[in-house]
Amino acid sequence: MAYEVNFKTVSTIGLETSPVAETLAGLRANEARYYWNKYKHVFVTSPAKDDSKTLEWINKVLLEKDMKFPYEPLETSTFEVDGLKMAYVFYENGLVVNVMYSLDPTGKRAVGFKLSDGMAVPKEFEGKFKFAHQKSRLAGTIRGSYFVIKGTY
């Protein structure tokens, strides 16, 4: 069942099994607020078990950096806005992966990683990525990093 993310009243719907459900929900709401404020786009997620196509695409892009996560995916989101294909996966441990893929071959393409407040840095990132910190009213402290996509997907 699809869930329209409310950034005014943060809810853990769909994320209840996460040990950091509250901050993961805040991070999801923070993303929803961003897309609403910038594009007037309503951020909608679906249970990951119902969206294997998005998960497969994100996993294919992650292989560019030899990354594969053993974490349980809880929710996904995929949409197009302003010439960009966006895809998200929210993992049970608090990790959020998003792919920004310009539909224009000369546009920007990147994979972003965000860590929910209260979760440890996963071993897959140790020594590979540095994380910037950002304060969020909805999500506490967000730690984020990214890499530029080189291939075509």
Q: Residues in the chain with pLDDT < 70? A: none
Q: What is the pLDDT of residue 144?
A: 97
pLDDT at 103: 96
pLDDT for 102 equals: 98
Cα dihedral 17, 147, 105, 153, rounded to 10, equals -50
Per-residue pLDDT, 132: 95
Beta strand residue intervals within the chain, DSSP E: 3-4, 44-47, 73-81, 84-91, 95-102, 109-115, 132-136, 140-148
CA distances from 28 to 12, 148, 150 (A): 9, 22, 27
Provide the pLDDT for residue 1.
Answer: 87
Count how many domains the chain has.
1
Residue 30 amino acid letter: N
Q: Which amino acid is at 89?
A: V
> Of 95, 88, 3, which is closest to residue 46 (Cα–Cα)?
3
First-to-last CA distance in the chain?
Answer: 27
Residue 97: CA count within 13 A, CB half-sphere = 27
* pLDDT on residue 53: 97
List pLDDT tens digits, range 101-124: 999 999 999 999 999 999 999 999
In a domain, 153, yes or no: no
Write down the pLDDT at residue 113: 98
pLDDT of residue 63: 96
Q: Is residue 15 situated within a structural domain? A: yes
Does residue 123 belong to any structural domain of this protein? Answer: yes
pLDDT, residue 129, reads 93
137 CA to centre of own chain: 18
Residue 25 is predicted with a pLDDT of: 98
Q: Give me the pLDDT at residue 69, please.
A: 96
Calpha distance 24→141 (Å, rounded): 11
Helices (H), the chain: 21-39, 52-62
The whole domain housing 45 covers: 3-148
Looking at the DSSP bridge assignments, the partners of residue 28 are none
Placement of tokens 């993961």 in the chain: 24
